[in-house]
Amino acid sequence: MTPEEFAERIKARFEDVEVKITENKLPHPRKRVWIEVDRERFKELVRFLKEVDPAAQFSIIIAEDRGDRLTAKYHWEMFWEQGESLSVIVGTSCPKDDPVLPTITDIFPSSLPYEREVQEFLGIKYEGIPDPRRLFLPDDFPEGIYPLRLDETGIKPEMVKNAGHPYRRESR
Amino acid sequence: MNGKIEYWVKIPIGPIHPALEEPEKFIITLDGERIINVDVKLGYNLRGLEWIAIRRNWIQVLYLAERICGICSFSHNHTYARAVEEMAGIEVPERAEYIRVIIGELERIHSHLLNLGVVAHTIGYDTVLHLSWLARERVMDILEDIGGNRVNYAGNMIGGVRRDIKDRHKRAILDMIQYYRQEVMPKVEEIFLYDPTVEARLRDSGVIPKRIAIEYSAQGPTARGSGIKKDVRYNEKLGVYPDLGVKPVTPKEFTGVVKGDVFDRMVVRVGEIWNSMEIIERALDQMPEGKIKAFPKDNLILVKLKKAEGEGIGRYEAPRGELIHYVRAEKGKDGPAKWKMREPTFPNLFAVARALVGEQLADVPVAIASIDPCLSCTDRVAVIDANTGKRRILTEVDLLKESIKKTKEINPNIKARPERIGIGRCML
């Protein structure tokens, strides 16, 4: 399926969605499809991707702090079984004072570690995530501190507990 | 007593454990000898690279990208350079693309030989470890000759490569390929394809079926060992690779069956070394003359990129699997506004954790080694704190002060100031 055909299919199903095709100038021209969708219709679109190609490979979540909004871009590699694959990027966003996005782990289970990473580093809450534990940050890292937010001021000294040896307890 | 007694044992492997030389923790729940659950905890050696990158300029990030991983250092800055080129619409000269192919494939050969040795080591074949690493020296010598370093050879620049491949390099590479064809590869094949002990040890351990591999987005030799014909060089029509006959290697072409176990992943690696040597030979043959950089001087790149705006994605098949870098540029900013990378080990770790359920504890080291985990590129921030009598947290500035104090004791003339350079606020 060519990128143009794919964009047509997306536009036929979702009329208000922004679809953009970019091409780079490498020796073999290569096109990518960039889709921008609001968070209410995001999950529907992801489900549609799975319908179009059941073997689509989910690769990455690029989450970012853009001032008053937190954005997340998801990359899929589609139609790899037919040789030349199609690279699709779906972007969505949520306001910073209501940082909630729907989880897609029920459609693409491999997105779970990425969602856990975004959840701890940028504070986007995933609705219905099956395993909300921390992945990278330590378990005693203070709540409500998100290291990759641009307005984050860091950990205050009184928040630090159990510093030093990991097995040292307060009571001893 | 009506009913059997059940008890589970939890065994943590890592962060530092003899079976796994890198800081990563696998919490394995056992029922007797059988694994019933595997949990992965990351973050013991996070370096905060994304935060450091947004305080640097475009060319400085190139060197930061290279230091993500020592083994696939060329892959990382190659992917980053591709992402920037796509974002700014920079055209790369054709000779530079061929040089990228040659260095990339040389790196694949040494990385795969390293992993074949590590897997042999985890099953107790230490002689194979020493001999395969000895064979690897030959590639490392050529990489040193081309780039000046054994690892981190800084081959890439945005819009091309920094160093040309000269006639003496070409002769050395062809000699090396001949040596590998005649001396090394027959022995490697004898051990990994036909040795009965190795086959008994590696067959049917750590099985990742094709369905699970797709579900968990396994990458690279891990995916191809499960029969997924996916290779970014081939699927993405990357650079000049389509002209060089690149193809996804699956174990079916060698053994006729695809089981998705550790043995199959090793077969894929052996096959890819053969394929890489063919690609290098063709690339050396077809390489055109011409310039190797789109910009004659490095500061012109920064001038051009300061005006650029937009976002770009670079993808490349590193020895371990698909590597993907994303950059976003803002007008008037010297460096990237956002840089994000994904390493192949990250999804593969979760795929292998799933595959270990139901296996024996003794298969854990070899199953983990078989995905060739590069844990240093999966972790990204290091937290520094210390406890000296009373509780105290050392910041980067404090550490720098201490360091400068020590230097001043040796040389009192030094005029350094302890300044935060890159490590972000999340560093305490």
Q: Which of A27-31, A131-135, B321-325, B373-377 has the lowest mean pLDDT?
A: B373-377
User: Using CA atoms, how far apart are residues A116 and B346, in angstroms rounded to an integer?
Assistant: 13
Closest Cα in chain A to B211: A55
pTM comes to 0.85
CA B38 to chain centre: 23
Select the more confidently predicted residue: B311 or B404: B311
Q: Which of B83, B16, B35 has the alpha carbon at shortest distance from B325?
A: B83
What is the count of residue pairs from A and B with beta carbons less than 8 Å apart?
A: 130
**Which residues have C-beta within 8 Å of that of residue B87, sequence separation ≥ 6?**
B308, B310, B311, B312, B327, B328, B329
In single-letter form, the type of residue at position B96 comes to A
Q: What does the pLDDT look like over B118-145, one tens digit per residue?
A: 888 777 777 888 888 899 999 999 999 9
Contact (CB, 8 A) for B236 and A30: yes
**Which residues have C-beta within 8 Å of that of residue B369, sequence separation ≥ 6?**
B115, B118, B119, B121, B122
Comparing CB atoms, the residue among B43, B393, B424 nearest residue A135 is B43
Q: Which of B58, B135, B94, B352 has the alpha carbon at shortest distance from A113?
A: B352
Using a CB-CB cut-off of 8 Å, the residues of chain B touching A136 are 42-43, 46, 379-381
Q: What does the pLDDT look like over B272-314, one tens digit per residue?
A: 999 999 999 999 999 999 999 988 888 899 999 999 899 999 9
Q: What six digits make up the tokens of A160?
A: 């630090």
* pLDDT tier for residue B386 given thresholds of 50, 70 and 90: very low
Q: Which of A118-127, B326-335, B376-385 has the lowest mean pLDDT?
A: B376-385
pLDDT of residue A61: 92
Contact (CB, 8 A) for B188 and B134: no
Q: Average model confidence (pLDDT) for chain B?
A: 81
What are the strands of the beta sheet with B310-318, ordered from one edge?
Answer: B310-318, B321-329, B338-342
Contact (CB, 8 A) for A131 and A116: yes
Residue count (chain B): 428
Select the more confidently predicted residue: A168 or B362: B362
For residue B15, cis peptide bond before it (omega within 30 degrees of 0): yes
Comparing CB atoms, the residue among A55, A62, A113 nearest residue B350 is A113
The beta-strand segments (E) located in B92-167 are: 156-157, 160-161
The torsion defined by the Cα of B72, B231, B378 and A55, in degrees rounded to 10, comes to 180
Q: What does the pLDDT look like over A50-94, one tens digit per residue?
A: 998 888 889 899 999 988 899 999 999 888 888 888 899 999 999
User: Using CA atoms, how far apart are residues A2 and A86, in angstroms rounded to an integer?
Assistant: 8
pLDDT of residue B96: 92
Q: Which of B47, B235, B345 to mutate to test the interface with A (most CBs of A within 10 A)?
A: B235
* pLDDT tier for residue B421 given thresholds of 50, 70 and 90: very low
How large is the average pLDDT for residues B50-56?
87
The single residue listed with the structure tokens 């690696």 is: B269
In single-letter form, the type of residue at position B268 comes to V
Q: Is the pLDDT of residue B39 over 70?
A: yes
Contact (CB, 8 A) for A167 and A146: no
- Residue A81 forms contact with B (CB below 8 Å): yes
In b/e form, how buried is each residue of A131-148, taking b as 16+ CB within 10 angstroms? eeebbbbeeebeeebbbb
**Which residues have C-beta within 8 Å of that of residue B172, sequence separation ≥ 6?**
B142, B145
The half-sphere exposure of B108 on its side-chain side, counting CA atoms within 13 A, is 29
Q: Which of A1, A64, A80, A90 to mutate to test the interface with B (most CBs of B within 10 A)?
A: A80
How large is the average pLDDT for residues B221-232?
90
DSSP, res B182: I
pLDDT of residue A126: 92
How large is the average pLDDT for residues B328-343?
90
Q: Is the pLDDT of residue B425 over 90?
A: no
Contact (CB, 8 A) for B50 and A148: yes
pLDDT of residue A46: 92
Q: Where are the alpha helices (DSSP H) in B195-261?
A: 196-202, 210-215, 220-225, 232-235, 252-255
